[in-house]
Amino acid sequence: MRIDRIAHQSVVIVGGGFAGAVTALKLLERTEVPLKITIIEPREELGRGVAYSTAEPVHLVNGPSGIFSLYPDDPDHLSRWLVENGPAHGWTPPDEVGSSSPPRYLYGTYVRDELARAAKTARLCSTLRHVKSSATALVATPNRIQITTAAGLVVEADEAVLALGVFQPRLSPTEARLAGHSRFAANPWDAHALDRLVDSSEILLIGSSLSMVDAVASMEARGYRGRYRVVSRRGQFVEGRRTVEAARDFLADGGLPLSARELLSRVKAERRAISAAGADWQGLPLAIRPHILSLWQGASDHERLRFTRHLRAFWDVTAHRSAPESHQIVERVIAEQRLQHGRARILGFSTKKDAITVKLKVGMDVESVSFDGVIDCRGHQLHDWSQISDPFVKHLIATGEVRAHSTGYGIDATPAGDLINEDGLVHRNLSAIGHPLRGVAWESSSITEQRAQAIALADRILAKFTPVRVA
């Protein structure tokens, strides 16, 4: 085993998707001491993770470029980067680039290139290195963190950050029947699986949110001209994002609600007021979003779980709308009467050579319908760390270095993101960012929240390294 000892002021980040890459970028940008940063990430490129690894140009970021700059003080940075670099990467920027939604592969290129630029121009001889492997074990002592990779490398550092993203659940026995079937795509980002479905006459899309929009856009781009049947448990259907002003800051009146019930009743009252005034309801989530962290952190676990059980699905479909450009494709397909959507529960699948028969419960009725293609668009995510089968996660839980959050979402941490071990002790040198913190800070998965977390995390780490100046 090779020991690779990093000198002082060293940070190791496990996971080089968006959250890990942006943390490294902010550390390099803001440091006043020499830093050695290591990112452990098995993917070839940093900054892409799951979301920005898709190569399909029709998979877009779900908001306008104007809100996704990596530098909140320079909101036009991404738009300028797109104008300069888009054409070289096969994308022609539209006139109103700030209000357009670029392809996700291009956004990943932006993150990757900005991180590379920050490393190249880093002050104080700071360095960044990418270890292309997976972390498998972690040992934390009060002053050092030691992480072992699958390749047998041991990386030691003063500080460590877990930016592991989100994990997939195991297939249910019902779903397992479809795995490997030639007419089944387990997700809308598997280009080869989608290629096989182009000659279908009717495709079942399971799930009706943003991943469903990716699936329709991909199939249309491939020349598919058959029908789609979209089913979801609640029958909600994602909407396209419209350009609207945030509604008035109604939650600031009279203090934030402390229960899910009070939150719901205040949101409903505001929704009625918005409708009566003839305004657009899409301003409502924009008014709620700045309060999410305070609402979540001010609520008891009981209320948080009531939110996740009863309101989460409504919040997700309301807050996470699709890019207008992608939504136009869905609207066209609906106008051509090729897409039908509704509430249904899947009871089971049976397969024949080129057909998948699905048993659906629609209202009180049970239907058996045959499709020649099925795409799973549920964007499965497993948040409960006690159930995740990934070896590193299992190791972290088994050794007690981290403990599952009491809500069943991610791991326990202080409100600032310092991780808490099995004995309830706060690590001084081990933090997390993004999805692992969902139990602590609910909306930890989107670009804008992760960008804010990365800046705060970088500043916290750097404050520990920076000598205090006296007059």
Site residues (CB under 6 A) for ligand FAD? 14-20, 40-43, 49-51, 61-62, 134-135, 163-166, 392, 434-435, 445-447, 450
| Beta pairing class for 345-352 and 36-40 | unpaired
Which residue's CB is nearer to ligand FAD, number 162 or number 420?
162
Smallest separation, CB 330 to ligand FAD (Å): 16
Which residue's CB is nearer to ligand FAD, number 47 or number 93?
47
Smallest separation, CB 361 to ligand FAD (Å): 28
* Contacts of 140 by beta carbon, 8 Å cutoff, 6+ apart: 146, 160, 401, 421, 427, 429, 430
Smallest separation, CB 448 to ligand FAD (Å): 6
Q: At 429, phi and psi to the nearest 5?
A: -135, 20
CA 87 to each of CA 28, 84, 109, 217, 432: distance values in angstroms, whole numbers, following the listed order: 28, 7, 13, 21, 36
Smallest separation, CB 47 to ligand FAD (Å): 9
Which residue's CB is nearer to ligand FAD, number 306 or number 321?
321
Smallest separation, CB 452 to ligand FAD (Å): 12
Which residue's CB is nearer to ligand FAD, number 26 or number 306?
26
Rounded to whole angstroms, the Cα distance separating 111 from 43 reads 14
Smallest separation, CB 39 to ligand FAD (Å): 8
Smallest separation, CB 107 to ligand FAD (Å): 8
Smallest separation, CB 18 to ligand FAD (Å): 4
| Beta pairing class for 153-157 and 145-149 | antiparallel
Rounded to whole angstroms, the Cα distance separating 265 from 325 reads 33
Q: Please name which of 70, 72, 23 lies closest in space to residue 46, comparing C-alpha atoms.
A: 23
Rounded to whole angstroms, the Cα distance separating 89 from 22 reads 21
Smallest separation, CB 207 to ligand FAD (Å): 12
3, containing H or E segment: strand 2-5
Rounded to whole angstroms, the Cα distance separating 147 from 393 reads 13
Given a contact cutoff of 8 angstroms between Cβ atoms, the answer to whether 377 and 211 are in contact is yes
| Beta pairing class for 426-432 and 159-162 | parallel
Which residue's CB is nearer to ligand FAD, number 165 or number 257?
165
Given a contact cutoff of 8 angstroms between Cβ atoms, the answer to whether 384 and 364 are in contact is no
Smallest separation, CB 111 to ligand FAD (Å): 9
CA 71 to each of CA 16, 21, 22, 25: distance values in angstroms, whole numbers, following the listed order: 19, 14, 10, 10
Smallest separation, CB 292 to ligand FAD (Å): 14
Which residue's CB is nearer to ligand FAD, number 108 or number 257?
108
Cβ neighbourhood burial of 283 (10 Å; 0-12, 13-18, 19+): middle
Smallest separation, CB 445 to ligand FAD (Å): 4
Rounded to whole angstroms, the Cα distance separating 206 from 212 reads 8
Which residue's CB is nearer to ligand FAD, number 257 or number 285?
285
Rounded to whole angstroms, the Cα distance separating 68 from 99 reads 11
Which residue's CB is nearer to ligand FAD, number 215 or number 339?
215
CA 358 to each of CA 212, 229, 374, 414: distance values in angstroms, whole numbers, following the listed order: 18, 12, 9, 45
Looking from the CA of 469 toward its CB, the CA atoms found within 13 Å total 2
- Give the three-class secondary structure for 370: strand
Which residue's CB is nearer to ligand FAD, number 194 or number 447?
447
Which amino acid type is present at position 61?
V
Which residue's CB is nearer to ligand FAD, number 17 or number 86?
17
Q: What is the largest CA-CA distance in the chain?
A: 79
Which residue's CB is nearer to ligand FAD, number 274 or number 402?
402
Which residue's CB is nearer to ligand FAD, number 206 or number 356?
206
